[in-house]
Amino acid sequence: MSETSPKLRAVLGGIPTYKPGKPAAAEGPVAYKLSSNENPYPPLPGVMESALAAAAGFNRYPDMACTGLMNELAERFGVPVTHIATGTGSVGVAQQLVQATSGPGDEVIYAWRSFEAYPIITQVSGATPVQVPLTSGDVHDLDAMADAITERTRLIFVCNPNNPTGTVVHREELERFLDRVPSDVLVVLDEAYKEFIRDVEVPDGLEIYRDRPNVAVLRTFSKAYGLAGLRVGFAVAHEPVAAALRKTAVPFGVSQLAQDAAVASLRAEDELLGRVGSLVCERQRVSEGLAGQGWTVPDTQANFVWLRMGELTVDFAAACEQAGVVVRAFPGEGVRVTIGETEANDIFLRAAEAFRKERF
Ligand code: PMP
């Protein structure tokens, strides 16, 4: 047997593997997972029925064109079906967007800190990440991002609301930024948490993309619609971009279970968005509770809160876990905590209060 291993692309050596949120312990005291921005509600019975009905045919490949889902999305959002592309979660579609635009020698701009998949999918494509720090208020610095554009820029991610800070960019500043972006550079508005937004100054990407052929809007069924485990997301963009996404898609990347559950979710939207409303109330309760304890919490429009903890991050996450909630630590920076079940949020608030009394 040969001693050498297959030659892998050198760039992979420097790329971290995506780290999922830590799961709650299977054993021991009550533990809630608040580390992956998931929806705490169980699937709606009707949605589950649709998925289970599809399961009866899983000896067959799914509908590769996602016809039913595409038609439903086109109708729901009032966009031409040719402007939609579905994929294996919105992270899958994000990867396709990078592959469709950017390769070695090209640059991809995004804010940092932001969604941790951006640097990974950029480098896997062979492109160069250009990270533009958030402002001191943890908001996208759109002026600095526009200043970072070069002749090599091919794609820019704007995560709105931003993961992990929950902060948003407003209509006017976004339009001003887009006016500065050359028309041959694609801007991806990542709206994974769109349905949780209550700030009326935040634009709907679908209104922005209509007049801007270089804008793609990224959405997911994982968060508000509660289908994280089924892996289905989509982009809306003008035809050349949407067509390129269909070429870069992994064939049959969205299972029939996912397609049918997504259609059923769109049809049950009233109920699902009602749940989102409850989570938004809980978000307010948690944010106000933390502020009352003395924490500085950036205004969040997503289903999580961000606490800048610096050197205390790891200790704080450990204290939360000890109390029964698993949160997401970004060592040296801060902690992102998903809004979960009322009881989970209560445990978190109590843990935060105890930590503050002990360490501040
Ligand atoms: N975009 C953002 C900003 C996210 O936070 C996430 C999930 N954490 C995704 C995209 C990807 O979600 P999914 O692949 O489940 O659609």
What ipTM does this complex have?
0.99
CA distance readout (Å), 274 to 51, 196, 323 = 21, 11, 29
- Of all residues in the chain, the percent with pLDDT exceeding 90 is 95
**Is the pLDDT assigned to residue 24 strictly greater than 90?**
no
Q: What is the pLDDT at residue 47?
A: 98
pLDDT > 90? residue 4 = no
For range 54-58, the mean pLDDT: 96
Query: What share of the chain has pLDDT > 70, as a percent?
Result: 99
Ligand 1: residue of 88, 195, 218, 220 to mutate (most ligand atoms within 8 A of CB) is 220
Determine the pLDDT at residue 118.
98
Q: What is the pLDDT of residue 25?
A: 79
Question: Across residues 338-355, what is the average pLDDT?
Answer: 98
| pLDDT mean over 331-347 | 98
CA distance 192 to 223: 7
192 lines ligand 1 (CB under 6 A): yes
For residue 23, name the pLDDT band (cuts at 50, 70, 90): confident
Q: Across 301-356, where does the E strand assignment appear?
A: 304-308, 325-326, 328-330, 334-338
295-304: pLDDT as tens digits: 999 999 999 9
Q: Is 35 in the pocket of ligand 1 (CB under 6 A)?
A: no
Measured in degrees and rounded to the nearest 5, phi and psi for residue 318 equal -65, -40
User: Which residue reads 């580390």 in tokens?
Assistant: 35
With vertex at residue 206, the alpha carbon angle to CA 63 and CA 51, rounded to the nearest 5 degrees, is 30
Write out pLDDT tens, residues 85-132.
999 999 999 999 999 999 999 999 999 999 999 999 999 999 999 999
Q: Report whether 339 contacts 36 (CB < 8 A).
A: no
Beta pairing partners, 186? 155
Atom of ligand 1 nearest to the CA of 93: 14
Give me the pLDDT at residue 2, please: 65
Task: Check if 159 has its Cβ closer than 6 Å to any atom of ligand 1.
Answer: yes
How does residue 3 score in pLDDT terms, banded at 50, 70 and 90?
A: confident
CA distances from 336 to 217, 296, 356 (A): 24, 13, 16
Quick one: which atom of ligand 1 is closest to the CA of 222?
15
Average pLDDT, integer, range 287-291: 98
* CA 219–ligand 1 middle distance (angstroms): 8
DSSP state of 72: H
Cα 267 to Cα 40, 73, 98, distances in angstroms: 20, 10, 31
Contact 91, 117 (CB under 8 A): yes
What number is the average pLDDT over the span 286-295?
A: 98
**Choice from 35, 97, 113, 115 to test ligand 1 binding pocket (greatest atom count within 8 A of CB):** 115
What integer pLDDT is reported at residue 301 of this predicted model? 98
Which ligand 1 atom is the nearest neighbour of the CA of 114?
3
Measured in angstroms, how far is the CA atom of residue 325 from the centroid of ligand 1? 21
**pLDDT-based confidence at residue 1 (cuts at 50, 70, 90):** low
Does residue 323 carry a pLDDT above 70? Answer: yes
pLDDT, tens digit (0-9, with 9 covering 90-100), for 201-254: 999 999 999 999 999 999 999 999 999 999 999 999 999 999 999 999 999 999
Mean pLDDT of the 337-349 span: 98
Which residue carries 């990224």 as its tokens?
A: 218
Question: Which atom of ligand 1 is nearest to 37's Cα?
Answer: 8
First to last CA, the chain: 60
Q: Are 152 and 107 in contact, with CB atoms under 8 Å apart? A: yes
Residue nearest to ligand 1 atom 6, measured at CA: 192
- At residue 27 the predicted structure's pLDDT band, cuts being 50, 70 and 90, is confident
Helix pair 89-101, 117-124: axis angle to 10 deg: 40
Whether pLDDT at 66 is above 90: yes
Query: What would the mean pLDDT of 276-283 be, rounded to a whole number?
Result: 98
In this structure, the number of other CB atoms found within 10 A of the CB of residue 52 comes to 12
CA distance 35 to 337: 6
- Identify the structural domains of the chain with CATH numbers, from first to last: 20-43+269-359 (3.90.1150.10), 45-267 (3.40.640.10)
pLDDT, mean over the chain? 97
